[in-house]
Amino acid sequence: MQPPRLPQTRVLRLLFPMSLLLMAFGASATLVPEEDGANLEDTRSMIAEWVETRRVYSEEMANWKIGREMLLQRAEVYQRDIADLKARTAETSASITEADTRRTELETERDALKAASVSLVDSIAALESRTLRLLDRIPPVLSDRLRPLSARIPEPGLDTKVGLGERFQNVVGLLNELNKANRAITTATERRDFESGASAEVTVVYVGLGQAYFAAERGAVAGTGTAGPDGWAWSEAPSEADAIRRVIAILQNTEPAAYVGLPIRID
């Protein structure tokens, strides 16, 4: 790096005294004795060293100014970086505060959901137990159709890995099918055992999930059935054989529709 150039006036001011000194020393060189030549040479050497010192000083001063400018520029960059860091720190603090608030809200919501989940577990367990008890009222002819749904419901007291949503869905699906069966009249051919020890093939008419009637194709073999907690209870009613056979004929479209009186039992 070239040393900075001094102003011309300053150069002249420096050179003028030096010129006078040199002229004086030059003039005195012819006047002084030879034995003083050594002193004159020392003086010239000192002046040369002084000039070199001034040159080095000027060069170092120029380098110092350049270094100072670089340091000032770096300090300005660092100050901008510090300002940006403070701004980001403030934004991060605000985000952390918002996150803490949201976390508190989520924890409160989680606790509420846990409490609701415990309540739902108890509710679904009670619904499953009551729904399974309704299966005892299903006519045998409908058991095969409802078995896929009923098999998804766990037995009371047994642990299950099925989620609450699926458990509720299974109960609702089964209850829908039971509701359809309760509003329908279903006929089936079954073999019925009687108190006398005899058995006969009869046609059974299930009215929903609570009442049933059966009768043989001929004779006085007839009776009624009622659904209870332990399943279907059957009783013989020979006097109702003709009326029950007439109902069966109407359902099979072999006789026109008509009102037929039949006994009913309500527990």
Two tokens, residue 256: 């026109």
49: amino acid identity, one letter = E
pLDDT band at 36 (very low <50, low <70, confident <90, very high): low
Residue with the larger pLDDT of the pair 158 and 14 = 158
Burial 83-106 (b: 16+ CB within 10 A, else e): eeeeeeeeeeeeeeeeeeeeeeee
User: What's the rounded mean pLDDT across residues 177-204?
Assistant: 87
Query: In this predicted model, what pLDDT tens digit does every residue of 65-110 receive, in sequence order?
Result: 888 888 888 888 888 889 888 888 888 888 888 888 888 888 888 8
- For residue 69 the two structure tokens come to 């400018």
Please tell me the predicted confidence (pLDDT) of residue 29: 44
Structure-token pair, residue 253: 């479209």
More confident residue, 117 or 171: 171
Domain boundaries, the chain: 119-180, 185-251
User: What are the tens digits of pLDDT across the range 18-28?
Assistant: 544 445 444 44
170 burial class (0-12, 13-18, 19+ CB within 10 angstroms)? buried
- Model confidence at 224, in pLDDT bands (50, 70, 90)? very high
**Per-residue pLDDT averaged across 8-32, rounded?**
46
The residue ranges of DSSP E strands in the chain, in sequence order, are 185-193, 199-207, 211-215, 222-228, 231-236
What three-state secondary structure class fits 43? helix
Report the chain's mean pLDDT, rounded to a whole number.
80
